[in-house]
Amino acid sequence: MSTTSPEYSPTAPFKLEAHFASALPAMAAPWHGEDAPDPQLVILNEELAHRLGLDPQWLRSEAGIQFLVGLNPQPLTKAVAQAYSGHQFGQFVASLGDGRALLLGEARSADGVLRDIHLKGSGRTPFSRGADGRSILGPVLREYLVSEAMHSLGVPTTRALAVLTTGRKIQRGTVSPGAILVRVATSHIRVGSFQYSNIAGGVDLSQDLANYAIIRNFPELAAGLDNPTPELYVSLFRAILRRQATTVGKWTRLGFVHGALNTDNTLISGETIDYGPCAFMERYRGDAKFSSIDNYSRYKFDNQPVILGWNMTRLVETLIPLLGDTPDEGMTAAQEALSEFDSLCEQAIAQEFAAALGIDPAESEVIAHFRQLLYQYNPDITTLLRCLTDNTAPPAGFEFFAHTWKTLDPDIEAMRTVNPIFIPRNHLVEAALSQAVEGDFNAFHELLAAVCDPFNPDAGSAELHGPSPDGFEEDYMTFCGT
């Protein structure tokens, strides 16, 4: 597929900023993408490109494609690989970092917010350790599809600007096309970024990172940067906790299992990141886990608020000297804030279910009863909530609930805007990806169109509505796919 338009100017009509690279050079290794033998643009998210001020027509040009693989230095000021640490399945790894990723720079979008333009699969970096720095097409397309679906569902998430193939063949058990995902986020500051700053530069570097996080993700606190006090950093930590709670509230209502909530995969912005072993469950149950490597079910569905609390504890450990005038004061402030996390999550979850049921969050008994029935009858929650929305017969076990719930006069119109018809169902995603990797993108685009307009019954065909065939979910397993 030829996507270049040679007549278009080689000079980019925009310039990225190098905000992170200038503010935190100790956490940014200047780098560039690896040469790609035959780079091709496979998907471009034109709507997002426009919002970011990145001319889509130029992105399709030869120079634009070189930019999107991290090789055209001209619209960049300084691409970098970011340093970070991380607890992976509970084990601390001090030096992780962008082993196959690059922060090209930041673009100022129409809403005035600076957003990272980030590549995944762009080749080896100083953080690659023994690995090849590359990604393959299937997992890259999965991340594109699921992250854009999550965005359309109103879940805080990184987004996807483009997918490119590199022209390389990559051996991962079988041979797959090499690919790059161009990812967009309000920042890539992870819990693991603070773990790194703490080790590499102590409290001074952690403070620089915290200040930077305020500028990028919590501008409502920026006035405090003129005269930083412990209260400022306590407010920052509390704001980060609220973001995590909001996000996990949405995952819980949608039945989303992230699958790899390592501290390096938890952004302080609350945006969901890294769609590797994730899945939407079709039988609502607390022990749902799909990841092939999550042997102890650390990241099972019910554990997500617990694990985020654990990750937040790892985060606050790096901030204690900033949270009080003495270590004791810092520790007390940290514990106070952390002790509220469970109830923040509970409130966020209850609020999500209230919205899904079109009722007041104060109806706590109805909401608790509904959640108890979910665990008792394990329905497909997407279908169930649409049955309630559309006034069709609810699945087994919910008849009596539906009857009493209706007496609360639920706001059906509001329910239509939060309860999706289309989600990236596992069997559909797998079928679309395996066809796409063979060169047939029809199913992928059909599914993408539906999940990006999830509340509109006309956005996709009836085959994209319901859960997978019987037996599919029991055996369904996801892979990091690196």
What is the set of active-site residues? 264
Residue type at 371 in one-letter notation = R
State which of residues 106, 116, 132, 352 lies at the interface with ligand AMP (CB under 6 A). 132
Q: Do residues 215 and 226 lie in contact, with contact meaning Cβ atoms separated by under 8 Å?
A: no
Listing DSSP states for 127-156 in one string gives: T-TTS--BEEHHHHHHHHHHHHHHHHTT--
Q: Establish if 266 lies at the interface with ligand AMP (CB under 6 A).
A: no
Which residue, judged by CB position, is nearest to ligand AMP in the bound state? Answer: 99
Site string for ligand AMP, 272-291 (x = CB under 6 A): --x-----------------
Q: Establish if 480 lies at the interface with ligand AMP (CB under 6 A).
A: yes
β-pair partners for 180: 164
Give whichever of 222 and 480 is closer to ligand AMP, judged by the CB atom: 480
Q: Establish if 363 lies at the interface with ligand AMP (CB under 6 A).
A: no
CB of 117 to ligand AMP, least distance (A): 17
Binding to ligand AMP (CB under 6 A) within 80-109 occurs at: 96-101
Beta strand residue intervals within 401-445, DSSP E: none
Q: Do residues 116 and 123 lie in contact, with contact meaning Cβ atoms separated by under 8 Å?
A: no
Q: Establish if 34 lies at the interface with Mg ion (CB under 5 A).
A: no
Helix (H, G, I), strand (E, B) or coil at 253: helix
Per the listing, tokens 């619209």 go with 75
Who's near 50: CB < 8 A, 6+ residues apart? 56, 110
Residue 142 near which of ligand AMP, Mg ion, none (CB within 5-8 Å, type-dependent) = none
463-476 burial string, b = 16+ CB within 10 Å, else e?
Answer: ebbebbeeeebeeb
Q: Establish if 265 lies at the interface with ligand AMP (CB under 6 A).
A: yes
Who's near 299: CB < 8 A, 6+ residues apart? 257, 258, 259, 260, 261, 289, 291, 307
Q: Do residues 63 and 74 lie in contact, with contact meaning Cβ atoms separated by under 8 Å?
A: yes
Picking from 425, 355, 410, the residue whose alpha carbon sits closest to that of residue 149 is 425
Listed ranges 268-276, 306-314, 340-348, 452-460: which one lies at the site for Mg ion (CB under 5 A): 268-276
Residue 133 in marked binding region: yes
CA-CA distance, 63 to 56, in Å (whole number)? 12
Q: Do residues 78 and 21 lie in contact, with contact meaning Cβ atoms separated by under 8 Å?
A: yes
CB of 440 to ligand AMP, least distance (A): 26
Give whichever of 83 and 374 is closer to Mg ion, judged by the CB atom: 83
Give whichever of 315 and 450 is closer to Mg ion, judged by the CB atom: 315
Listing DSSP states for 348-380 in one string gives: HHHHHHHHHHTS-TT-HHHHHHHHHHHHHH---
Listed ranges 44-52, 126-134, 336-344, 453-461: which one lies at the site for ligand AMP (CB under 6 A): 126-134
User: How far is the CA of 303 from the CAs of 59, 85, 260, 296, 308, in angstroms?
Assistant: 41, 22, 12, 11, 9
H or E stretch covering 414: helix 412-416
Residue 208 in marked binding region: no
Give whichever of 85 and 165 is closer to Mg ion, judged by the CB atom: 85
Residue 183 in marked binding region: yes
Q: Establish if 269 lies at the interface with ligand AMP (CB under 6 A).
A: no
Residue 120 in marked binding region: yes
Give whichever of 97 and 454 is closer to ligand AMP, judged by the CB atom: 97
Q: Establish if 116 lies at the interface with Mg ion (CB under 5 A).
A: no
Listed ranges 140-148, 192-200, 274-282, 474-482: which one lies at the site for Mg ion (CB under 5 A): 274-282
Helix (H, G, I), strand (E, B) or coil at 117: strand
State which of residues 128, 332, 351, 456 lies at the interface with ligand AMP (CB under 6 A). 128
State which of residues 135, 265, 311, 382 lies at the interface with Mg ion (CB under 5 A). 265
Give whichever of 172 and 369 is closer to Mg ion, judged by the CB atom: 172
Residue 419 near which of ligand AMP, Mg ion, none (CB within 5-8 Å, type-dependent) = none
Point out the annotated binding site for Mg(2+).
265, 274
Point out the annotated binding site for ATP.
97, 99-100, 120, 132-133, 183, 190, 274
User: Footprint of ligand AMP on this chain (CB under 6 A)?
Assistant: 96-101, 128, 131-134, 264-265, 274, 480, 482
Point out the annotated binding site.
97, 99-100, 120, 132-133, 183, 190, 265, 274
